[in-house]
Structure 1
Amino acid sequence: MDFEADHSPPLPTDAELFQAMQAKQHSALAALYDRYASLVYRVALRILVNPQEAEDLTQEIFLKLWRSSTYDVNRGSLSSFLTTLTRSRAIDRLRSRSSTLKFLQRWGNTMTTQPPPTTPFEAASIHQRSEHVRSALADLPEKYRQILELAYYEGLSQSEIAARLEIPLGTVKSWSRQGLLTLRKTLQTWIE
């Protein structure tokens, strides 16, 4: 039997693809994405549990790799770098989610779980707090308020908000964070 030898060129190494990507060759990024997206997604999903958030984080990791990577080919494999970066970013998201959830729970508890007022003074106090919250929301810049309302009143994810408002996901994340920080600062005296 006569077998033909496979003369296809060898696949480029991660280091070669990374160098090409640093030279802004889109095909190199595509090749690295094809090679490692499932790994990054699995790590993100294992930590975040939410498939949409895992997809968002996968995209974020590869955008970071494209834009400004701190990866050094001499310090280890690209798969290890991506795994570590994904794990770190996913844990950051969990912390942020936890912090935001605690803030909103404290805020919500202040507004909704109090027993009905029994005295005129208690009724006035609750009314005053409600007005303060409404005022704090109204004082937020429109872009921040809109994103917070979509997230917390309509329950939309950041990806869904980006799609609805037709703005980049990174912008939604940035505005959401700034809006929450501003709101938290304004309401701090009412939730402590």
Structure 2
Amino acid sequence: MRNSSRENKFEPVASQSDRALVERMTARDDRALGELYDRHGATLYSLAVAIARERADAEEIVADALGQAWRTASQFDPGRGSVGAWLATITRSRALDLVRARGRRARALARAAGESGEGLSAPLAAADAPERRVERQEARQLVGRSLAELPEPQRRVIELAYFTGLTQTEIAAELREPLGTVKTRMRAGMEKLRDSLARLLPREGP
């Protein structure tokens, strides 16, 4: 009898399922990771941009997420969802970690400027010039706060749609709710978020 796992090892990665690629990752086959990136990289990048709002950061987030997937491939549980959903969950977590870190830094800079007076604000801004993001970081914090203030049912469908990439039909299946209910919650939640954006970010530039 032939050993199917050894046979699988020598099959071209492009012809294998996502789950088979994860199994190959546990055997430290970096070609499998490259193939998963080819299949899911664009989706993960879009997700990272949606959360971090910065393309350069999104590239870093996706790289970190794939690195984590490589290290934890043996922990993937197909019973909890698809490989794509697993990668999206890791990407979302890494993106939110980065956004929270930005927020902490922005608050620290704001406190330092406030305690030391206007004379310190210019040097601080210059020190942060490579990022040019302090104000936008604070704005993103406010938007995140607005999202957190949404009713749980509305917030949940928006998070599933924009942070994990599920369609409304998939969200309905995930939540075991009628599709019409999901659409109503999505519409109401997005209207509230648009109102928040109009109020909090009226002068945001590109």
TM-score by length of 2: 0.51
Q: What's the counterpart of residue 188 of structure 1? A: none
SS at match of 2:104: helix
Q: How many Å apart are 1:9 and its aligned residue?
A: 10
Q: 1:45 to 1:109 in 2, by over 3 A?
A: same
Pick the aligned partner of 2:127 from 149, 153, 158. 153
User: Of 54, 59, 63, which aligns to 1:55?
Assistant: 59
User: What residue in structure 1 maps to residue 69 of structure 2?
Assistant: 65
Which structure has more relative contact order (CA 8 Å, sep 6+)? It is: 2
The Cα offsets for residues 39-70 of structure 1, whole Å up to 9 and x where unpaired, read as 11100000111000000000000011112243
Q: Which consecutive unaligned segments of at least 5 residues does structure 1 have? A: 1-7, 115-129, 131-148, 158-192
Deviation string 1:138-165 (CA, Å, 9 cap, x unpaired) is xxxxxxxxxxx9x9615335xxxxxxxx
Q: Give the 3 Å change call, closer, same or farther, for CA 86–9 of structure 1 in structure 2.
A: closer
SS at match of 1:24: coil
- Change in Cα spacing, 1:9 to 1:40, as seen in structure 2 (3 Å) is closer
Q: In angstroms, what is the RMSD of aligned CA positions? A: 2.8
Structure 2: tracts of 5 or more residues without a match: 1-11, 132-206
Distance in 2 between residues matched to 1:28 and 1:96, nearest whole Å? 31
Q: Which residue of 2 aligns with 1:44?
A: 48
Identity of matched residues, %: 29
SS in 2 for 1:98: helix
- In structure 1, give the amino acid aligned to 2:127: Y
Partner of residue 98, structure 2: 93
**Which position in structure 2 is the counterpart of 1:84?**
89
